[in-house]
Structure 1
């Protein structure tokens, strides 16, 4: 027996379906969308892309930064000068590499260790997380000032604890070119370890608990479970942390600039950029060339991360 039209039968629904009406954007919607897209785009253009393009252009000229009529084409002579005849450049490269190695070997494993310990649901875990995360919320310039109080030669806490404060044996931690880079690295580690800790804590919370249970049933101990099951499962977090560590080593600037403006053993590429672009004796072309070199180096980990994050795996 056939079902009457409009009544659901055994073979399906014979009722006519209504067509969905596509809602057109009103004038107000268009204005709101234009503002939401336009303002961030304008900010990106004004603060990032236009200065980047200008820096690339200025790296090929000679200019004192004052008289526009004094701009002269220089070709690649600024880059040649930086690589061959600019004394602080290669020490700055070495210090940036040292910064990267120190953060990768000391600060990042320390952050991972803190995350693993705080993931054990110990008493007061939230308080400890807040304590270790506080440095992340502070600017590197403020961290430099805080550690200056700790490292001062005459009244610093460290020399006081060593019993050398106010004596000829007191170490000038930030003034001695043989030790100031290590003092600055410890200050940077204080901040970086807290950042890594929070990222790994988030990763640990996202690991399926059944994986740990299965490893335990197979007889794996805690060490084997972590490094063979948990750590590989956090691969996306590991990639993010690798990229962040590389970028942090390249953009390191605030601490060394607060200490001694990036001189006397604390030369970094970012500090050399500012030294050549700001203040007396500025050399716009050389500073711009240094900025472009830093940009190119920074693009390597960024491209690596984006290719990993958005690349589609072939099935």
Structure 2
């Protein structure tokens, strides 16, 4: 019996040869010299700006918090140890009222502004007519700076010609409330102005979270006989846990960094003392005490790091899992 030569079956026209694809997949494009310079520039420039504007000033503030310095001549810098921190926490009258006001600011944003933003998000997620317009209206304050918001609310809170007193019918009378001048009410007036902005920010975050919820979860809850409120609080809201963590961190940071509104109103005095305002008061202007201002800034930094570290730990733990 004659042996016949083996002939390979022809490849199908719609099936490319596998070895060629494999060889092409392993082919790596080498970076040219110009590409390396571009990548190095893209990494170096942001890193340099970050170091010059954030890390170096932060380290200098930490160092200055242990010194006495009038801010004029480097030769006048004297070591002070922990004296500035002791003075701030024990002998500096505005410090503890400022801490109290920051706590009140945090509680107000957490109890009033954040739930208000969640409520707006839930209402606008119902596909009502004109929802896009409403979203734009509620989000507009977020695009404004806090300085501009402070100026707007100053006009609204004016004692004689302000919108609020006109609505109350007390404008131009002896019963008119000096909303920003009266130390017993100005903190709450400033918090209303801050809520106007914060609620819109939280609304956008929760709207993004609601859009990412699987509709089958709501359908399953409805089939099980859950009402709309039960479905939201037992199914939808727990499913937005990552958004909830972000919102908590943002709310804490917003409460700690609150500065612009109170500084526009009365430079953070007369009932509007906040830690951030005390930092500027001691670092800028007459009677500046660089060491005390730096110590206040370091304390504010340490407090702010707590929610940030908590958020990073949760994020990295989730990635590992």
- Give the drift of 1:310: 2.1
| 1:254 has 2:260 as partner | yes
Query: Within 5 Å, which residues of 2 pair with 1:193-208?
Result: 193-208=199-214
TM-score (norm 1): 0.95
Q: Is residue 277 of structure 1 aligned with residue 306 of structure 2?
A: no
Match of 1:244 among 246, 250, 269: 250
How many angstroms does 1:88 deviate by?
A: 0.2
Q: CA deviation at 1:154?
A: 1.2
Cα RMSD after superposing both structures: 1.8
Give the one of 34, 39, 57 matched to 1:28.
34
Deviates more, 1:15-24 or 1:58-67: 15-24
Equivalent residue pairs, number? 312
Deviations 1:87-119 (A, max 9, x none): 000000000000000000000000000000000
1:18 corresponds, among 23, 27, 45, to 23
Match of 1:233 in 2: 239
Distance 1:113 1:14, change over 3 A: closer
Task: Point out where structure 1 has 5 or more consecutive residues left out of the alignment.
Answer: none
Pairwise CA distance, 1:21? 2.9
CA–CA distance in 2 between the matches of 1:267 and 1:165?
Answer: 27
Distance 2:283 2:18 in 1: 75
Cα separation, partners in 2 of 1:3 and 1:191, compared to 1, 3 Å:
farther
Where do 1:102-117 residues align within 5 Å? 102-117=108-123
2:90 pairs, out of 84, 106, 110, with 84
Matches within 5 A, 1:86-235: 86-235=92-241
Q: Which runs of 4+ in 1 moved over 3 A?
A: 1-9, 13-17, 312-315
Which runs of 5 or more structure 2 residues have no equivalent in the other structure?
A: none
Secondary structure at the aligned position of 1:18 is classed as helix
User: Secondary structure of the residue that 2:270 maps to in structure 1?
Assistant: coil
Larger-Rg structure: 2
Q: Quote the Cα distance in structure 1 between the aligned partners of 2:18 and 2:262.
A: 76
How many angstroms apart in 2 are the aligned matches of 1:148 and 1:182? 13
Match of 1:265 in 2: 271
Contact 1:5–1:15 (CA under 8 A) maintained in structure 2: no
- Give, in angstroms, the shift of residue 141 of structure 1: 0.5
Confirm or deny: 8 A CA contact 1:61 1:285 kept in the other structure. yes
After superposition, the C-alpha distances for 1:15-61 in whole angstroms (9 at most, x for unaligned) are: 57537333221111011101111111011000000000000000000
Matched residue SS, 1:263: coil
Give me the whole-angstrom Cα distance separating, in 1, the residues matched to 2:7 and 2:18: 8
The structure-2 alpha-carbon separation of the partners of 1:3 and 1:129, relative to structure 1 and needing over 3 Å to count, comes to farther
Deviations 1:260-295 (Å, cap 9, x if unpaired)?
000000000000000000000000000000000000
Q: Given the superposition, is the C-alpha separation of residues 5 and 22 from structure 1 closer, same or farther in structure 2, using an over 3 Å criterion?
A: farther
Q: Structure 1, residues 161-208: CA drift from partner, whole Å, max 9, x if none?
A: 111111111110000000000000000000000000010001000000
Q: Taking structure 1 as reference, are residues 3 and 262 closer, same or farther at Cα in structure 2, changes over 3 Å only? A: farther
Do the aligned partners of residues 40 and 313 (structure 1) sit closer, same or farther apart at CA in structure 2, a change above 3 Å counting? closer
Aligned to 1:67: 73
Q: Does 1:37 align with 2:43?
A: yes
Matching of residue 299 in structure 1 with residue 305 in structure 2:
yes
Q: Secondary structure at the match of 1:248?
A: helix
